[in-house]
């Protein structure tokens, strides 16, 4: 049961035999929220149902009838539900998969409290023709750039395997604090993360000894959590605008990290493909 006046709460309750009505009415009574707020939360993915067989699934239909034995979960976060997400753009639809621009501030996938601020949900709503959507890799919420989405279990398995084998080349552009060398200088950051080998390669694109920042093109050879951000922080040149890592790198524009290129051998057409951000989307966030 929620705490009175709480703006974030979780309700978990199994529907008892003999209770009738709709899920929306039931949760409104249990939470003390208006039916319109519950309906909005359901539409944004904050309500889950677990049947006697199977795992939990989001329940969006406010008029869904109560079923005895169902476990209902209501994850309410007023702050999250009030957010207006930035819009993603589908840049290329290959049928089995599509390539999207994820703006900074948009999550790759949702949380138990909702998914309306996620790329996955926007793709589900706007793909034409509608298809299943599977996440096969991630991009930090604070970062912007290209993401691949799969549209079948088979496509997800094939693309995930390419990522696992490091056969998808991902290129990034970052702005970091300080001077890291003259234009064209190449470097390698070979330092383990989370106890695992981790390799980041970079080439200086723009830098000035008198400037406070440098711009680099980056390729990661491994896929550790926050690898680029952590590696550059380790060498004393944190990514500008990173809210988590580094000191002296804060700004008002947001994190300056963009995934601007994806290239790989398409497993469905057996040919090399490369996708790059078009002009206007490859600019820094903010």
Instruction: Quote the pLDDT of residue 199.
Output: 96
Asked whether this chain's domains 89-165+260-276 and 169-255 adopt the same fold, the reply is: yes
Q: d(Cα 148, Cα 157) in Å, to the nearest integer?
A: 13
Q: d(Cα 8, Cα 11) in Å, to the nearest integer?
A: 10
- Among 262, 29, 12, which residue's Cα sits nearest to residue 145? 262
User: Could you state, in order of their start, the residue ranges of all structural domains in the chain?
Assistant: 8-81, 89-165+260-276, 169-255
CATH fold of the domain at 169-255: Pseudouridine synthase (3.30.2350)
Is residue 116 helix, strand or coil?
Answer: coil
Q: d(Cα 219, Cα 187) in Å, to the nearest integer?
A: 11
Evaluate whether the domain defined by 8-81 bears CATH number 3.40.640.10.
no
Instruction: Quote the pLDDT of residue 282.
Output: 64
Q: d(Cα 199, Cα 69) in Å, to the nearest integer?
A: 50
Q: d(Cα 121, Cα 145) in Å, to the nearest integer?
A: 17
- pLDDT per residue, tens digit, the chain (286 aa), is 454 455 999 999 999 999 999 999 999 999 999 999 999 999 999 999 999 888 999 999 999 999 999 999 999 999 999 999 999 999 999 999 999 999 999 999 999 999 999 999 999 999 999 999 999 999 999 999 999 999 999 999 999 999 999 999 999 999 999 999 999 999 999 999 999 999 999 999 998 777 689 999 999 999 899 999 999 999 999 999 999 999 999 988 899 999 999 999 999 999 999 999 998 776 666 5
What CATH number is given for 89-165+260-276 in this structure?
Answer: 3.30.2350.10
């Amino acid at each position: 049961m929620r705490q009175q006046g709480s703006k974030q709460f979780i309700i978990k309750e199994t529907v008892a035999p003999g209770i009738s009505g709709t899920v929306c009415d039931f949760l409104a009574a249990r939470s003390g929220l208006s039916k319109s707020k519950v309906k909005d939360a359901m539409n944004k993915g904050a309500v889950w149902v677990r049947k006697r067989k199977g795992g939990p699934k989001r329940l969006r239909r406010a008029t869904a009838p109560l079923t005895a034995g169902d476990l209902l979960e209501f994850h309410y976060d007023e702050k999250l539900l009030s957010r207006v997400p930035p819009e993603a753009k589908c840049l290329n639809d290959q049928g089995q998969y599509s390539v999207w621009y994820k703006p900074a501030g948009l999550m790759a996938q949702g949380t138990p409290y909702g998914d309306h601020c996620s790329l996955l949900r926007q793709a589900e709503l706007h793909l034409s023709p509608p298809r299943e959507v599977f996440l096969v890799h991630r991009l930090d919420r604070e970062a912007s750039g290209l993401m691949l989405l799969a549209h079948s279990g088979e496509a997800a398995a094939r693309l995930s395997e390419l990522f696992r084998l490091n056969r998808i080349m991902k290129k990034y552009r970052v702005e970091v604090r300080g001077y890291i060398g003259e234009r064209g200088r190449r470097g390698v950051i070979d330092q383990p993360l989370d106890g695992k080998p981790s390799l980041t390669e970079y080439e200086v694109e723009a830098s000035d000894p008198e400037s406070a920042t440098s711009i680099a093109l980056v390729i990661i050879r491994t896929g550790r959590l926050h690898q680029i951000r952590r590696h550059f922080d380790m060498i004393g040149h944190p990514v500008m605008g990173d809210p988590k890592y580094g000191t002296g790198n804060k700004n008002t524009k947001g994190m300056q990290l963009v995934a601007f290129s994806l290239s790989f051998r398409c497993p469905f057409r057996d040919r090399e493909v490369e996708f790059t951000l078009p002009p206007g989307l490859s600019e820094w966030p903010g």
